[in-house]
Amino acid sequence: MTAAIEHLIDSMDGIVFMTAADGTILSIGKRNWNQFALENGGAGMCDGHGVIGRSMFDFISGDDVREAYRGFFALLRSGSARRARLMSRCDSPTVRRELWIVITPMQQGSVVDGFLVQSLTVAESVRPPIDLFDFQAILERSRRDRRLPILAMCSYCQDVRYPSGSSERDGTWLPAEDYYHLGGDANVRISHGICPACEEQSAQAIAC
C-alpha cells in the first residue's frame, strides 16, 4: 500500500477501508476510524489493530448478511456492476445513526483486485438509552445464559422480529422502540439477519 493511497483513504469522508479482492482488510482511514472507535468503546481497534490483515467478513454478523456482501463482491468482481450502495443503521444505546454503505471495486486494467468500502453518516440523533443496542453487554449475558430467547435483528435497519423467539412465519418486524413498548427487554441473544424490506433494498443495491 503506497503512502499516496494511505493519504487518500485517510482524507475521505466517513469510515473508509480498503480490501483485497477476497475481502482481506488492507488499510483504513485512520482519522475517522479512530474517532468512531474511541466514541463507541472500541479503543483496542484504533489504527486498525486486530482488523488489518483479517477478512471483513469476520466482522459481519449473521449468515444471511455475510452472503449478501459476498454476493455484492462477486457481482462487482465480474464487472457486471460498478458499485453497490445501500442504506443501513449503526446505532449505539444513546445514538441513532443512518448511513450509506458504498462498495466500489478497485481495478488494475480490467481486473478487480480490491474494494473500497465507505460508510457515510447521513443522519444522527441523540435519544434516551436503548440497551438493546449495547451489543457488548448483550453478548456477555448470552454467554452466561444460553437459555435466553433469541431475538432476530435486521443488520441493515436494526428492526427486530417480535416476539423474541418467533419464526419468520409468525413474527412481526418492528423498531426497537415499539419492541420495548410491547414489553420486550434486552435479556435476549441477538441473531442478525435481514428483514423482508431490507432484502428488497439489498437486491436493488447494485448499480450497473
pLDDT per residue as tens digits for the range 163-183:
998 887 788 999 999 999 999
The residues, ordered by sequence, that sit 6+ positions from 107 with a Cβ below 8 Å of its Cβ are 113
Any residues with CB less than 8 A from the CB of 164 and at least 6 apart, and which? 149, 150, 151, 184, 188
**Percent of the chain scoring above 90 in pLDDT:** 68
Does residue 208 have a pLDDT over 70? no
**Distance, CA of 90 to CA of 54 (rounded, Å):** 21
Q: Per residue in 34-44, pLDDT tens? A: 988 888 778 88
In the predicted model, what is the mean pLDDT of residues 113-118? 95
What are the DSSP calls for 24-88, one per residue? Answer: BEEEE-HHHHHHHHHHTT-GGGGGGTTTTTSBGGGG--SHHHHHHHHHHHHHHHHTS-SEEEEEE
* β partners of residue 108: 111
pLDDT bracket for residue 206 (50, 70, 90): confident
Q: Are strands 189-193 and 150-154 parallel, antiparallel or unpaired?
A: parallel
3-state DSSP assignment of residue 10:
helix
Determine if the pTM surpasses 0.75. Answer: yes
pLDDT higher than threshold 60 for residue 125? yes
Region 9-21: mean pLDDT is 93
Is the previous residue joined to 163 through a cis bond, with omega within 30 degrees of 0?
yes
Pick from 93, 15, 92: nearest CA to 56? 15
One-character DSSP codes across 58-73 = GG--SHHHHHHHHHHH
Cβ pair 127, 94 in contact under 8 A = yes
